[in-house]
A and B are shown apart, each in its own frame.
Chain A
């Protein structure tokens, strides 16, 4: 052996070990570092840079990544909610009753005799955050951009599809000429952007609007910082015409795991957490300084039956069960569904039994069936109806008109636990009628859905204050052009009566009359048995009362805080004041110091180890 200890390998190995040890030390050293950084702030929570003392920060935990902050292309709820904070919309919805409209950037509006021209007066007390005045020209430019640039159509192109021409004859007047009458002109959920900033953007389709902080806007908040999947920060717009928000800072922090977000709420690291599961809500009930808001939701959760998929060109496709074409059969199925059990067991009480198509939060449009119209839970009547309609039961199996046992395919979203849970009940209830149900849960239901390859499917839409979209889904016009295309249609409903009602409501500018037509449409949809609403699931959310003193829900009585059609919640939120926060800040600082001490001990240990090893190595160099 010739001094193996001096071989290249040992030297290399020693090098690796040394480097790794160094890295390790570095890491632990870093861990120890916050000691100095935080020791200063101990006991005072977060100090403001200007030294005025307590800075009131409202921190919201959200799970969904922001797709982009460009209002022309942003479509995710997380992003579109931020758009409402950054830019003023032409009109707003009343937080007390979301089916009512309030002035926004437009103070008033009028329509022409022929219903085709809308003239809006743009307010004169709104200013862009860079000091330039907001004019009608900004609004005209925004709409025109969406009408002419394909890249700018992505998010809100549907709003301008029926626009003929948009002009700004003067700074305060915006004129929109329509191709056809359109009753949704007070529900244009379009962020109006500053023309003088956006004309400089070369390619709107690829512009992310998150490089040049603060982002120029005129909403209640000004976006000051964004780091993808980490945080989005806002400061209040002191010059906002409706009044400045009370918090000094609004931060959206991304939590990819909702249990971790709930932990952050318990600790006080965040002020608000949305989208809680029943189990999470239960764990927070009774916790100190935490209020759980079990809010009426914006969504309906329904069963859609395949009415025989077809395209606009008349071609039929898909393979929906023939029995579902029979109105009595559909009605019998829904007589066997116990909505109370669905709400109690599947939603664990966090929801309301389904009735009409539009959720009860929208008072003006909410409709429910009359006593004789109602398809109530009644398994006996369901069986009798099937017998009468010619679906005989034989040996526990319900036979179709060709004498074959009926098996229905139920399609569910694998990503939605409530679909899976409800399907177990449906299998049982329909099983008692002798109908076999085969449930398939898919991550992506899009393909079989578009191809019409299902019998019954779990369905659900978030309903906007203006119900036009969720109604348009069931018109013949929404069908795909050919079986190969994809249409806007939800489940291939196409009916003359429904279509004529749809045309009537979109041309009706009187809100009360329009609401009456919408209710007629809901009534038809209910009777059809093509869409049967199981429940309106609640949105369950929670916030810290020692950080937020008051906050506006929408609707006021039992509404939600996150995902509002407006900026009401964050704009109206009032901070709880000093003491509570100081104590939480204090405890976290104490924790911090203990943590640092622990880290320092470990670092010292590792350092000592390295020293010992070095010394023993030195011993061998004799």
Chain B
């Protein structure tokens, strides 16, 4: 494999043409290995989530009953309800047997099944961060390509400078500024967007979709503004690496327009590191962005996680942790599946 890799200096697209008969089998073996690895990781996550959060200081029953009158009878009833009166090993086996079937128990503070609470919020977070990731990835790719192609120029310096500045801005601060300027309105700028939330409520069909989109504009804008620099920089630097390559000279010699040389030859080869980044970002989508969700009162998993940690509401933190980690693992597997398709040198 290493021999092939060093020998193949030709672009990936050309290598794709040279698939050997054993390639399909090799790909399956590669895939099998990756899937097995993912399964092991997921299991490890299940186990750690149980022990990890038991280290958090604080007695859930005590912190839930703080500041109000409770009889000893009530405290005992709560402990029994939560299963906290059982020995740890028994709590662990109970947790494992249930978790395998997707049942993470009942939240201490919300008195409702954890899976229900999580699935109520996950779509909201996916919608917000998903749209933001797609948008900032595209913006980053586009601007990154431009910047690298004419590197050192005014456009490059301006682009990179602006992106880096926005990247350094704390998301919650930018969010608050956007609220002040575009929600409340300053001077001649009227209040264009809602100050927070996801919907007015009571709307249906198209009006509902429009309402949600209207509420999404500012949080998405915030996430895109602070996020696109990453993709831009990775794309820019990996494209710069390709810039001097012989195959680009060949492509130009063929008489292709500069624009096409960039789009069909340089960019595809420079895309691989960016793909990794895209999938890492997609893996984070499920976890959302706690700060931006908070500033815009977006009903996502971020604030749920925060509330779960502060009790600690063990079943809920465990469930969320598994979902967050699971999303990351899933995205890694997807990236692994995609790599060999993008670059046949991988996985051979």
Chain A residues within 8 Å of B, Cβ to Cβ: 1-2, 4-5, 7-10, 12-13, 17, 20-21, 23-24, 27, 30-31, 33-34, 36-37, 65, 67-68, 70, 73, 75, 150-151, 153-154, 157-158, 161, 205-208, 225, 227-231, 233, 251, 253-257, 259-261, 263-264, 266-267, 269, 443-444, 446-447, 450, 461-462, 468-469, 472, 486-488, 587-588, 590-592, 594-595, 598-599, 616, 620
Contacts and interface: CB of A to CB of B under 8 A. Distances in A.
Contact of A13 (B197, B271, B307): B271
15 contacts: A5-B264, A9-B341, A9-B342, A27-B216, A31-B213, A31-B216, A154-B81, A227-B199, A227-B299, A257-B295, A260-B195, A264-B183, A444-B58, A444-B310, A446-B66
A158 B11 CA distance: 75
Contact of B71 (A5, A17, A75, A161): A161
B211 interface: yes
Contact of A230 (B69, B111, B195, B198): B198
B121 A9 contact: no
A167 B79 CA distance: 30
Given A34-B213, A260-B297, A267-B191, 7 more contacts: A30-B209, A36-B210, A65-B303, A65-B307, A255-B297, A267-B195, A446-B58
Contact of B113 (A37, A67, A206, A446): A206
Interface in B159-193: 172, 176, 179-180, 182-185, 190-193
A423 B195 CA distance: 36
Contact of A486 (B16, B62, B190): B62
B268 A10 contact: yes
Contacts of B203: 37
Given A4-B13, A13-B267, A444-B57, A158 B69 contact: yes
B206 to A, nearest CB: 7
Contacts of B237: none
Nearest to B179: A263
A206 B250 contact: no
A233 B13 CA distance: 58
Nearest to A8: B16
A470 B185 CA distance: 46
A269 B195 contact: yes
Interface residues of B, number: 99
Contacts of A20: 134, 137-138
Contacts of B296: 257, 260
Interface of B: 11-14, 16-17, 56-59, 61-75, 77-78, 80-81, 106, 109-113, 117, 120-121, 131, 134-135, 137-138, 172, 176, 179-180, 182-185, 190-199, 201-203, 206-207, 209-214, 216-217, 220, 247, 250-251, 254, 257, 259-260, 264-265, 267-268, 271, 293-297, 299, 303-304, 307, 310, 341-342
A462 B69 CA distance: 11
Given A23-B134, A67-B110, A599-B217, A1 B250 contact: yes
Contacts of A446: 57-59, 62-63, 66
A2 B264 contact: no
A580 B71 CA distance: 51
A588 B192 CA distance: 7
B80 A9 contact: no
A587 B190 contact: yes
B63 A486 contact: no
A263 B191 CA distance: 11
B13 A10 contact: yes
B184 A266 contact: yes
Nearest to A210: B112
Contacts of A462: 67
Contacts of A260: 176, 179, 195-196, 295-297
Contact of A231 (B67, B197, B220): B197
